[in-house]
Amino acid sequence: MSDEPQSTLTHAVPERAEPQVAGETVLELAGVTVELGARRILDDVGFRLKAGELTGLIGSNGAGKTTLLRVILGLLEPTRGTVTVNGADVGRSVGYVPQKFMLDPDLPVRARDLVALGIDGQRLGVARPSRERRERVARMLGAVGAADFADARVGRLSGGEQQRVLIAHALISHPSLLLLDEPLANLDLHSARAVVELLARIAREQRIAVMISAHEMNALLPVMDRVVYLADGRAACGRAEDVVRADVLSRLYGHRVEVIRAAGRVLVVAGEGDDAEPTHPHHLDAEEH
């Protein structure tokens, strides 16, 4: 069974997180290891995410991306290592957009209604309508380019439009860290590019750290400040030009790989003697962990 996060969209976050100073460390992982029985899913993973930056979490199926997100969200306790957000043990200000969120086309929930749910976190009861709430929702819808379909039923929106609404939902509680699990899956090239550009702008303007999980990095390359590249539970972290290199990724994968750059795109393939198959984008059939 997949261990993909099953929590709801809305997490317990502060009413308003303090704005981050651009470049300030928001998330830090140190020596994070996750073992399930005899299997090691994550192996001594450590990196930092900074305010105002967009980071790509890149890896094939089974590399450990979803497990890593679960650890950061506090849904899974690491076997060893620490996770801190804003210098504190994960208690935290984290927005999250899951990979799978099925919306019935006939569900009588407008885009603005879904975004408004993010204001209340896990409070009980129905919030009283107010001008301040309406204006807050309207500002967030405008910030993600969703104002034109604010009154449409969310289940009838396109994939790209739904992503914008879900991002607005995750952002309205002012998190300092935004995690997105495969937000580009099933989007066409134009929609994927628009979502990536939106997230990069949000990271800069709202001074938050944004991390996008993805199988394929090319859509992120124009705006990605850093990359966390996972392979078999191990991670290489840093600027793309320092990480996505044959020597670095060969050590990470434990066998020779080649990095091919052409027309502004990157392809990582197994080297000679390793069947010369693409290592990335994904070619593994293993279930995501």
Q: Does residue 247 sit within a domain? A: yes
Q: Does residue 36 sit within a domain? A: yes
How many helices (H) and strands (E) would you count in the chain?
Answer: 7, 13
Q: Which domain holds residue 245?
A: 25-102+175-280
Q: Does residue 225 sit within a domain? A: yes
Q: Does residue 37 sit within a domain? A: yes
Radius of gyration from C-alpha coordinates of the chain: 19
Q: Does residue 61 sit within a domain? A: yes
Q: Does residue 135 sit within a domain? A: no
Per residue in 48-85, pLDDT tens?
999 999 999 999 888 999 999 999 999 999 999 999 99
Residues whose CB falls within 8 Å of the CB of residue 247, separated by 6 or more in sequence, listed in order: none
CATH code of residue 29: 3.40.50.300
pLDDT at 9: 35
Residues whose CB falls within 8 Å of the CB of residue 109, separated by 6 or more in sequence, listed in order: 103, 153, 154, 155
Q: Which residue has the tokens 């994550």?
A: 42
Per residue in 196-228, pLDDT tens?
999 999 999 999 999 999 988 999 999 999 999
Q: Does residue 6 sit within a domain? A: no
- Distance between CA atoms of residues 128 and 120, nearest Å: 11
Q: Using omega within 30 degrees of 0 as the cis cutoff, is the peptide bond preceding 281 cis?
A: yes
- Which pTM value belongs to this model? 0.81
